[in-house]
Amino acid sequence: MESDGCGGSAARDLAFSVVGEVLGEFGVEGVVTASTPLLGADGVVDSMGLVQVCVALEDAAEGAGLRFDWTSDAAMSRSRGVYRTVGSLVEEFGRQQAQGAGS
């Protein structure tokens, strides 16, 4: 599966790669872009698929010495936007890493 990336940071690159891999396991073919819809009428996963994507991101973050909390109050309060597209989820991943690096 090809991807077009979603930003310059290593954390975002990691997240985009992981999401692309999981979507490939779901049979999503072709190029996965930041604008690929995750949920909704044109979404490529259902709610259980989204959970699998988020757990894979959490595992990848842990393996890289990072942290991703997709169940945090902040993420859930922005859930409509955060889980809408591949790009919005990758941006949330990157935001959490930048926030963690700054604390």
CATH number of the domain within which 58 lies = 1.10.1200.10
Q: Is 14 part of a structural domain of the chain? A: yes
Q: Is 1 part of a structural domain of the chain? A: no
Q: How many domains does the chain have?
A: 1
Nearest to 45 by CA among 83, 93, 1: 83
Blockwise average pLDDT, block size 10, the chain, 103 residues? 52 92 90 91 92 96 90 69 90 88 49
pLDDT of residue 71: 84
What does the block give as tokens for 25?
């396991």
Q: Is 2 part of a structural domain of the chain? A: no
pTM: 0.82
Give the structural domain span for 76.
Answer: 10-101
Nearest to 22 by CA among 71, 46, 57: 57
Q: Is 92 part of a structural domain of the chain? A: yes
Q: Is 80 part of a structural domain of the chain? A: yes
- Cβ pair 9, 93 in contact under 8 A: no
d(CA 47, CA 67): 22
